[in-house]
Structure 1
Amino acid sequence: MATALRLPSLLSSRAAPTTAARATIRGNRAGSFTHRVAAQPDDTTATTSTTPAPPAGFTPPVPKRFEVKPGQSNNIAGAALALPFRLGTGVFVLGYGVTLVDANEISPDQYALDFQGRKVKETSKVGQCPRPAKPIEIYEFEGCPFCRKVREMVSVLDLDVLYYPCPKGSPTFRPKVLEMGGKRQFPYMVDPNTGVAMYESDDIINYLAKTYGDGSVPIMLKLGLLTTITAGLALSGRSGKGSSYTPAKLPSQPIEIWAYEGSPFCKIARETLVELELPHLLHSCARGSPKRQDFFKKYGLFQAPYIEDPNTGVKMFESADIVEYLRATYAA
């Protein structure tokens, strides 16, 4: 299931980039840039990052479904505050449907929830939508309401995205956005499948809907100012977590994470990835995602978040333990 992705060597160092990416600008409405990336940065002078190692004696925890680790109740409650403000946007994929069936109608190797002696069968429309051959790349950070809107759409469309975190004060990817697009503004999306790159959250959402969905946008993502306000309120329970940079070592390969925007457990794990400016390939797996079945077939259970770190070989569940592992391994 893991995907072998290696960061460009330019981004495997904290050294400042030496050559800006060249791009051809296409016209768009005022306040928004859309352009096609014409070349990759020159990385011939980049240096190699230090190879990270997990903490001494580290053992991945045993997954415990829906269990909150002692001392984490406030974190989970704060992250869950987003659900009522956003009416669950980012919890379900496009065209989500559910039916209750007899337990014997679902084979043991098929992912399904148990409910009062029956099984919950989930369906969606994402299997009918075009899928990107390469992960879409998005530069953003957790504490930004405009970025949250795009992350919700990513979950709705069940997309895999290579996130480049840009928390305030971060030295690598925040300056990179200025080089590529001409503005230090977030979110910023690059689609290597089409060559399209753009700012403006609403433009990105509409682009993703038309390119990798059925063209529709969930109601909570097209209410204009009200969408932005509720997205901001959704972040209020976390008091700025995922907004500011913590000095860290940059790995040579992105960390892979199975997560989705509507999960409070996934939220606290991704906040740490962002604060440490750790690039990560996110495999969206909201309710109704076909990836849940793929995951279940491989591991015999489904639980998110789950990470695989190709830099250390560590594979693990449990959000609070993931946070501890990331800080112990990558914080400078």
Structure 2
Amino acid sequence: MISFTVSLVFFFRAAYFVTAFLLPKTGRVNFNFNERNISSHPPSAALRMSIPNSFDTLTSGLASIARLPFGTIVSGDAKSTPPPILALYDKEGSNECRVVRERITELDLVVDVVVPSATNSRVFNDENYEYFLGKDSSAATVPRLIVQKEDIEETLVGADKIITYFEEIYGERPPVVDENDEEIKKQVVSALILFAENLPSLFRYNRGNTVAGCALPPSKPMPSMLVLYSYEGNQFCRLVREVLTELDVPYTLKSAGKGSTRRTELSDITGGSTQCPYLMDPNTGKNISDSKDIIQYLYKNYALFTPPNELLGDLSDILTPILKPVYKQLAPLQAGSGGENKVEYEATIAAAKSQIEEEIASEDIVIYTYSLSPFCTEATAVLDNLEVAYKEISLGKEWVPFLINEDGPQKRAALGEMTGQTALPHVFVSGKNVGGLYDGLLPALEDGSFWKLLKGDNK
């Protein structure tokens, strides 16, 4: 039975090692985080987004390919002085919103304020928010466009009304299928277009639909408006817009599709480059061009913390319920509980507990790790990005024999008796047990208890 259990554990551990090596890490980047307050966004514990990796780039690219040629090139019916668009309430992952954004790119429009309107956005929950729509179901309809018609502001709700408005001002979008083509061919192409409308949401499943747990709480004052040069069909622009939606941060959109006059404007700003996305932040004076750099910057300045690898989190959700009871049984056995001398075993564990108590009292933040564990690497990266001082205590490369340190099994068993957790990473703040990465550190950052513990408020 024990051999079967060990084999099972090895299988699952191998699974997460494969995941860790196939998916690039968030990296350890030195960011200057200030102390964060308690988040009051509605719970979104399952939504743990991350810095884009190669998989994100691939799926975002496929999403762009699925919608070609829409949202990429400025069309001939764009006007040099279009009527002002005051605001667009938008959800990045919505098919209807995507159709509107595509047309905005093709018409080379500027949107004064794009208001992210994810399911649990402050748009629907915070009555003090400048862009609050309401809590009833009628207010939840997006996209929603506010336009200036002479001296009157008009609100258009739903993609159909917005597209109709664009047609009235700019004319109809050129048909994809020639009017002279056979009727059957037009029907087939129309069906394919309808099918392709849903592919981006499939490729980018669950991104840009919900405010993430790391988003700043509504109590934080909104900054001056960020400015984003972007166009809908660009895969890297999509990654940035997703994060802006998930962090609930409004911004000014300057469309810069292929053929846009705004590319000259962008070239003047950058000294020759017309690369999108391009973010300008008047709050800090920073201008950033690379999508990954932009997203790291957004997490640094407009989030509670930089989240770790989201797919590793999904794997943790699967493995933890299976492996936790297994580890609980194996840890004492590995430490020698099955030996004949029970008194010696108990004395060894007592000594390990004393050492642990000394260690967690030696620094405000202490984390126990394995050097080969991707979960441990991600946990220390989160702490690094917070720019807080901490002590890392490694129990070896991994928990298995020949990889764990000489005193590792005893410490593992002692941690299990002290906290009920034998898996690593294991975080302590001000001597108090916080737990692992996904079940402890991240929730503590999201609800603010991490910072309370760090300040010494243990209530």
TM-score, length-scaled by structure 2: 0.47
Query: Structure 1 stretch 235-244 or stretch 155-164: which is displaced more?
Result: 235-244
- Quote the residue 2:238 is aligned against: 267
Q: Deviations over 1:110-159 (max 9, x none)?
A: xxxxxxxxxxxxxxx53x45423x44311111111000000001001011
* Larger relative contact order (CA 8 Å, sep ≥ 6): 1
Question: How far apart are the structure 1 equivalents of 2:299 and 2:210?
Answer: 14
- Quote the residue 2:56 is aligned against: 75
- Aligned partners of 2:52 and 2:292 also within 8 Å: no
Q: Secondary structure at the match of 1:295?
A: helix
1:168 aligns with 2:124: no
1:202 aligns with 2:160: yes
Q: 1:282 to 1:180 in 2, by over 3 A?
A: farther
Task: Give the drift of 1:245.
Answer: 0.4
Match of 1:258 among 217, 221, 229: 229
Q: 1:331 to 1:250 in 2, by over 3 A?
A: farther
Q: Secondary structure at the match of 2:64?
A: helix
Task: Give the drift of 1:169.
Answer: 1.1
Q: 1:185 to 1:224 in 2, by over 3 A?
A: farther
Task: Give the drift of 1:84.
Answer: 3.1
Residue ranges of structure 1 left out of the alignment (5+ in a row): 1-53, 58-69, 96-124
Aligned sequence identity (%): 29
Correspondence list, 1:14-53, <5 A: none
Question: How far apart are the structure 2 equivalents of 1:235 and 1:220?
Answer: 22
Correspondence list, 1:100-139, <5 A: 125-126=77-78, 128-132=79-83, 134-139=84-89
- Quote the residue 2:109 is aligned against: 159
Task: Give the drift of 1:294.
Answer: 1.8
Aligned residues: 234
Correspondence list, 1:172-321, <5 A: 172=123, 176-178=132-134, 182-193=138-149, 194-211=152-169, 213=170, 215-219=171-175, 227-246=193-212, 247-248=215-216, 249=220, 251-300=222-271, 301-321=273-293
- Quote the residue 2:294 is aligned against: 322
List 4+ stretches of structure 1 deviating above 4 A.
179-182, 220-228
Query: Structure 1 stretch 178-187 or stretch 316-325: which is displaced more?
Result: 178-187
- Quote the residue 1:91 is aligned against: 72
Residue ranges of structure 2 left out of the alignment (5+ in a row): 1-29, 34-50, 127-131, 178-185, 305-459
Which structure would you say has the larger Rg? 2
Query: Structure 1 stretch 283-292 or stretch 166-175: which is displaced more?
Result: 166-175
- Aligned partners of 1:255 and 1:281 also within 8 Å: yes
Question: How far apart are the structure 1 equivalents of 2:283 and 2:190?
Answer: 41
Q: Which has the higher strand share?
A: 1
Question: How far apart are the structure 2 equivalents of 1:180 and 1:281?
Answer: 27
- Quote the residue 1:147 is aligned against: 97
Query: Structure 1 stretch 272-281 or stretch 174-183: which is displaced more?
Result: 174-183
Question: How far apart are the structure 2 equivalents of 1:250 and 1:257?
Answer: 20
Question: How far apart are the structure 1 equivalents of 2:208 and 2:289?
Answer: 20
Question: How far apart are the structure 1 equivalents of 2:285 and 2:269?
Answer: 17
- Aligned partners of 2:91 and 2:118 also within 8 Å: yes
Q: Deviations over 1:36-62 (max 9, x none)?
A: xxxxxxxxxxxxxxxxxx9439xxxxx
Task: Give the drift of 1:83.
Answer: 2.9
- What is the identity, as a one-letter code, of the residue corresponding to 2:32? A
- What is the identity, as a one-letter code, of the residue corresponding to 1:230? A
For the aligned residues, what is the CA RMSD? 2.9
- Aligned partners of 2:276 and 2:289 also within 8 Å: yes
Q: 1:250 to 1:242 in 2, by over 3 A?
A: farther
Question: How far apart are the structure 2 equivalents of 1:93 and 1:207?
Answer: 18
- What is the identity, as a one-letter code, of the residue corresponding to 2:65? P
- Aligned partners of 1:206 and 1:217 also within 8 Å: no
- Aligned partners of 1:147 and 1:187 also within 8 Å: yes
- What is the identity, as a one-letter code, of the residue corresponding to 1:172? V
- What is the identity, as a one-letter code, of the residue corresponding to 1:163? V
- Aligned partners of 1:146 and 1:228 also within 8 Å: no
- Quote the residue 1:20 is aligned against: none
Q: Which has the higher helix share?
A: 2
Q: 1:210 to 1:56 in 2, by over 3 A?
A: same
